[in-house]
């Protein structure tokens, strides 16, 4: 691992001219524009009136409402985890796929889903039953608040696996499944768990928006904890609001004690180190599970046999590929391949023609699907372009100015977040006693919707010079600083104990330890957190730059204000143009800045 942080962190500038804006970026932007246009067209056919349920404010309904919300959060998290593993794996190991997947990921995490929630709801309600459409839209909205930081963390882990571990996997001839199970997932465990905590906090953040949404005469509310909190706030029912917040805090603390803290204690075994830490993370619930005879019996009788059966079946169906064999190995039959053949992977001389026929049919089906997708994308792109031509030059100028002002606010919010998240995150990640105290508090603070505090900020700053700009920056900060904090905690917790002992033996001072050990170790996690925090800040600009308060609309110059105003007025051409402009700005920043820092981190700052 490179240790000269101050000399290498800006080395990405040497490669600025080597990777221009690619065709994959153009394809992704055209496809996103087509999807947005298709959603707008589908929304036209949605029912004119939708009747929603009554939201009770009785404390007796809170257990049921909480169960509904946790179910939606859990389904969205499962969807996010599956998306993360598949998407991140393809982006990390397939260069051709990465040319499209990485720009698409940049786009997806920057799409302002709150402004397009009406389009999503109306589109789904046009083709699905009403309640099904509303439930699915809520899960999708929560998914968009959980998936991106997980995917970036998984991709970052895959690209920074030490060479020694990859050489060991080649020596043992591990196939794709065995590498995933025994090398890649263990190496990424700490980062994935901390980002899962952040994903659930982000899900709680969007819960009120997901469960409490109306469009004109269409009532898309859902019974749940988020709807309960929103209804209590709108009705001014103080006791109900206290009951709802107390329930939310209780659920967050329960998840911390029963899920996240045991997982963090379990994942400490996967740190890349030769020496055990002096003060490893602990969990009373994890210790109770380890000492339970019932859990041990279930593991012996059910879990381990099922896992071994599944492991054996996967190995039989997918023998080792070329990645699992090092170049220096001699040719010849491999044990895994022989087992696969004996199990029926090849069944006689006619197997090759049959497999060739299947490959031919699959190739034909893939070609037809590709042609269909391209045709739909071309048609949608033409229609979207026609919609964009209706925008006058004056509005295009306002869009460009708005992008510039929002960029400055996003940069300011990230700079402020870095000032406090780096020292606090390192303290939590390296001090177990401090983590026990602060970890639940951080989760609760990250789960409180910042939009609920925005009226207070406006009241305090609106009448001062530059007050709206300061309020917008603070709202962006409150909604995005947690992505940085949780990634920094994960990075600090992953520093091997061996390197800590070495720094003590070398008698490095506090500044030298930070410069030569802590900061280089944090570089991949800082980049991941900054990408997701930056995307969240661009999204937050929609509510930060345009807000209704005390019967008045208060807005400042920014692309978020343009999007919010276009959404409120139903100006779909301006909405399309401003959203695509925001997406393009985020893609360019990620492409020419963060992606190069990713490459630098993968080359210089890996644990090996």
Residue 183 has φ and ψ, to the nearest 5°, of -130, -55
Asked if residue 325 belongs to a domain, the reply is no
Asked if residue 10 belongs to a domain, the reply is no
Residue 548 has φ and ψ, to the nearest 5°, of -100, 130
Asked if residue 485 belongs to a domain, the reply is yes
pLDDT of residue 597: 80
Torsion of CA 126, 132, 134, 140, to 10 degrees: -100
pLDDT of residue 373: 63
C-alpha span between 288 and 282 (Å, rounded):
11
Asked if residue 70 belongs to a domain, the reply is yes
pLDDT digits (tens, 9 = 90+) for 234-269: 777 778 888 888 888 888 888 888 888 889 888 888
Q: Where do we find the tokens 């992704």?
A: 28
Q: Give the residues of the chain that fall short of pLDDT 70.
A: 1-53, 110-127, 209, 212-220, 273-279, 319-374, 376-377, 379-381, 447-463, 466-467, 547-553, 568, 570, 602, 606-608
pTM (global) more than 0.85: no
Give the chain's end-to-end CA distance (angstroms, integer): 6
Nearest of 537, 528, 498 to residue 597 by alpha carbon = 528
In order, the DSSP letters of 518-579 are IHHHHHHHHHHHHHHHHHHHHHHHHHHSEEEETTEEEE-SSHHHHHHHHHHHT-HHHHHHHH
pLDDT of residue 48: 45
Do 170 and 219 form a contact (C-beta atoms < 8 A)? no
Do 9 and 567 form a contact (C-beta atoms < 8 A)? no
Asked if residue 334 belongs to a domain, the reply is no
Residue 218 has φ and ψ, to the nearest 5°, of -100, 120
**H helices of 494-518, where?**
497-505, 510-513
**Host domain of residue 393:** 20-291+373-604
E strand residue ranges, 72-163 = none
pLDDT of residue 117: 61
* H or E element, residue 484: helix 467-493
pLDDT of residue 34: 60
C-alpha span between 422 and 444 (Å, rounded):
19
For the chain, what is the domain count? 1
Identify the CATH number of the domain in which residue 220 sits: 1.10.3720.10
Asked if residue 366 belongs to a domain, the reply is no
Asked if residue 365 belongs to a domain, the reply is no
Asked if residue 329 belongs to a domain, the reply is no
C-alpha span between 215 and 107 (Å, rounded):
26
pLDDT of residue 415: 92
Do 286 and 262 form a contact (C-beta atoms < 8 A)? yes
C-alpha span between 143 and 74 (Å, rounded):
10
């Amino acid at each position: 691992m490179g240790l000269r942080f101050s000399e290498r962190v800006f080395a990405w500038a040497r490669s600025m001219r080597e990777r221009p804006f690619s065709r994959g970026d153009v394809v992704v932007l055209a496809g996103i524009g087509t999807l947005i246009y298709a959603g707008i067209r589908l929304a036209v056919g949605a029912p004119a009136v939708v009747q929603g349920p009554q939201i009770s404010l009785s404390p007796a309904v809170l257990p049921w409402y909480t169960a509904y919300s946790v179910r939606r959060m859990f389904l969205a998290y499962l969807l996010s985890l599956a998306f993360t593993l598949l998407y991140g794996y393809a982006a990390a190991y397939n260069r051709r796929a990465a040319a499209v997947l990485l720009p698409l990921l940049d786009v997806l995490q920057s799409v302002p889903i709150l402004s397009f929630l009406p389009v999503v709801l109306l589109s789904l309600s046009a083709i699905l039953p009403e309640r099904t459409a509303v439930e699915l839209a809520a899960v999708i909205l929560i998914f968009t608040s959980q998936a991106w930081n997980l995917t970036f963390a998984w991709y970052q882990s895959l690209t920074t696996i030490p060479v020694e571990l990859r050489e060991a996997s080649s020596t043992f001839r591990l196939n794709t499944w065995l590498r995933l199970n025994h090398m890649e997932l263990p190496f990424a465990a700490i980062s994935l768990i901390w980002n899962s905590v952040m994903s659930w906090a982000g899900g709680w953040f969007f819960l009120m928006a997901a469960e409490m949404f109306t469009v004109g005469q269409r009532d898309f509310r859902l019974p749940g904890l988020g709807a309960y909190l929103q209804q209590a706030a709108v009705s001014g029912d103080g006791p109900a609001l206290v009951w709802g917040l107390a329930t939310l805090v209780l659920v967050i603390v329960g998840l911390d004690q029963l899920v996240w803290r045991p997982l963090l204690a379990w994942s400490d075994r996967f740190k890349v180190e030769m020496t055990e830490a002096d003060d490893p993370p602990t969990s009373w619930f994890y210790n109770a599970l380890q000492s339970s005879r019932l859990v041990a019996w279930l593991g012996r009788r059910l879990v381990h046999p099922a896992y071994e059966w599944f492991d054996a079946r996967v190995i039989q169906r997918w023998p080792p590929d070329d990645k699992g064999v090092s170049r220096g190995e001699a040719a010849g039959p491999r044990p895994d391949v022989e087992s696969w053949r004996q199990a029926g992977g090849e069944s006689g001389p006619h197997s090759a023609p049959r497999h060739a026929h299947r490959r031919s049919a699959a190739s034909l089906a893939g070609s037809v699907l590709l042609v269909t997708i391209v045709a739909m994308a071309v048609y949608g792109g033409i229609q979207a372009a026609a919609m964009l031509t209706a925008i006058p030059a004056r509005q295009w100028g306002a869009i460009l100015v708005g992008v510039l002002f929002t960029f400055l606010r996003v940069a300011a919010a990230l700079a402020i977040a870095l000032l406090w998240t780096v020292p606090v995150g390192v303290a939590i990640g390296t001090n177990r006693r401090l983590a026990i105290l602060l970890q639940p508090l951080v989760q609760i603070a990250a789960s409180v919707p910042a939009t609920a505090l925005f009226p207070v900020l406006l009241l305090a700053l609106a009448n001062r010079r530059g007050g709206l700009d300061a309020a917008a920056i603070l709202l962006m900060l409150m909604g995005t600083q947690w992505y940085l904090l949780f990634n920094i905690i994960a990075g600090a917790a992953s520093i091997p104990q061996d390197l800590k002992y070495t720094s003590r033996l070398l008698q490095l001072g506090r500044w030298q330890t930070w410069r030569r050990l802590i900061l280089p170790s944090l570089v991949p996690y800082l980049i991941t957190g900054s990408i997701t925090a930056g995307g969240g800040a661009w999204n937050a600009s929609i509510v930060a730059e345009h807000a209704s308060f005390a019967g008045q609309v208060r807005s400042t110059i920014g692309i978020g204000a343009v999007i919010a105003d276009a959404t409120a007025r139903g100006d779909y051409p301006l909405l399309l143009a401003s959203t695509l402009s925001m997406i393009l700005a985020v893609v360019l920043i990620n492409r020419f800045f963060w992606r190069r820092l990713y490459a630098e981190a993968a080359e210089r700052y890996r644990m090996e």
